[in-house]
Amino acid sequence: MNATQAYSLGILAGGQGARWGGRDKGLIALKGQSLLARIVRPRPTAVKELLVCCRSYPYFYQHFSDRILCEAIAGLGPCAGIIALLSAATTSTLMVLPVDLIGSPQAIIQTLENEWRDDDTAIFLTDAEGHHSPCMRLTTSTLKDCAAFLDEGGRKITGLLEKIGARPVQVDTPWLRDADLPKSLQF
């Protein structure tokens, strides 16, 4: 296990927010904090750099990150965001979380730190029923395969994870809860 190795933390904030009437989910408040702040505060000790891939409002996100980026080609989904984050990362590994993660962000970060092995190429979180999430950690050396997946027309994260040989790590279902719908913020 290699829990203390410094890594880049990348936040996917480039979604359309269609179920939210086009609102940027990172700006939505829950219990007095934006969804992004709930993930990155406090900043995990092993994070060397915090990157946010967003579709708009970079001036808001700059207060929570070291660098802001956008997808090279907009509208291609989270896989394009992952590629943008991999391209920008300055460490050997990148942890990726969605901006609308409300389940248990700190426990997820801790799990992705603790479960990482030196021989891993990529790991991702799933629950007992096989529901996956965009919560993952991968080596920056996977960039070429990830880009090839996108170039070949791949759009689904499950396909990307399969292409790079990601290892699943099982967690409790409530940890993976996200803010896909407004009613999801009602506890």
- What six digits make up the tokens of 152? 């070949």
**Alpha-carbon gap, residue 78 to 117, rounded angstroms:** 25
What lies within 8 Å, CB to CB, of 186 at 6+ separation is none
108 to each of 55, 103, 112, 153, 177, how far by Cα in Å?
A: 24, 9, 6, 30, 11
Return phi, psi of residue 87, to 5°: -65, -30
CA–CA dist 46, 7 (Å, integer): 6
Show the tokens assigned to 160: 């990307």
CA distance 87 to 141: 10
Ordered per-residue pLDDT tens for the chain, 187 residues:
444 689 999 999 865 555 555 567 777 777 888 888 889 988 999 999 999 998 777 888 888 899 999 876 777 889 999 999 999 999 999 999 999 888 889 999 999 999 999 999 999 999 999 888 899 999 999 999 999 999 999 999 999 999 999 999 999 988 888 766 555 556 5
What are the chain's domains? 7-180 (3.90.550.10)
Reduce the DSSP state of residue 51 to 3 states and report it. Answer: strand
**Structural tokens at position 123:** 């790991």
Global model pTM greater than 0.95: no
Cβ proximity of 90 and 8 under 8 Å: yes
